Amino acid sequence: MDSYLDGAVFEVYTEFTPLNSLLNMKTTNRHMLRWQKAISEYRGNMTIIYKEGNSHTNADCLRRWPLDNVKRNPAYDHQVAEKFLLITWK
């Protein structure tokens, strides 16, 4: 994922309103610090835009990506998978 986003200007559409304030939040919570670190890499190039959840017609596809036999997929990238899990971990 880094190779696609590195240096690119992009927008993130989310229904999670606190995401906008997450980067400026002062916290000692390890969970929040991990999120801040993962997102801060893209701070200068990323614009976070709020969008109502019911208007996200295709956003759920990544969360529902089938994980069966994913390591046998020739496009599988271990580093990307780790980063994706870090970002999506709840």
Asked whether residue 12 carries a pLDDT value surpassing 50, the answer given is yes
Q: Give the chain's domain count.
A: 1
pTM of the model: 0.53
pLDDT digits (tens, 9 = 90+) for 14-45: 887 778 788 778 888 888 888 888 888 887 88
Side chain identity at residue 15, one-letter code: E
Q: Can you give the residue range of the structural domain that contains 62?
A: 2-88
DSSP element (H, E) containing 3: helix 2-5
Which ranges in 2-77 belong to alpha helices (H)? 2-5, 19-22, 30-40
